[in-house]
Amino acid sequence: MHFKLAPDSRAKYEQLVNYGKKLKPLPRQYQTLENKVPNCVSQIWVRASIDKAKRIYFEAESDSMVARGVAAVLVEGLSGYPATDILKISPDFIELLTPEQSLTPLRSDGFIKVFRFLQKKASQAMDTEGISGSAKSFTQ
């Protein structure tokens, strides 16, 4: 995804919406309070699973097409990595993806909230599997 190549903010939002359309729907049974990203304007649900190689895979859903796009970017970017690697990532990278002129401050804040929730889910999956990690979590 190349937000910097989009000519204006409208094109950047269109990119997010189109990206969100590619996200595989999260089954309703996983759209629970436990999987809901807290304090977001839009409703966003995230589920994490871990494979035998200890890699985390995310699924997400949202009632907003832009939020769905945000979730899709993060799901694709973070899925397939060990939880310890996911927990080491600083949310600073989001500024590179979404310069302030690309998204409103509220949307940029939402991006960070979704990212931190994915980290929380990765940490929970790691704890469930009994994996020890020295990575610092950036979750709230």
CB atoms within 10 A of CB 126: 23
Residues 6+ apart with CB under 8 A from 96: none
Q: Which of 73, 74, 61 is nearest to 12 (CA)?
A: 73
What is the rounded radius of gyration, in angstroms, for the C-alpha atoms of the chain?
15
Of the candidates 23, 40, 44, 103, the residue annotated as catalytic is 40
Region for residue 10 given its phi and psi (left: phi exceeds 0; alpha: psi -120 to 50; beta: otherwise): alpha
Is 129 one of the catalytic residues? no
Question: Catalytic residue positions?
Answer: 40
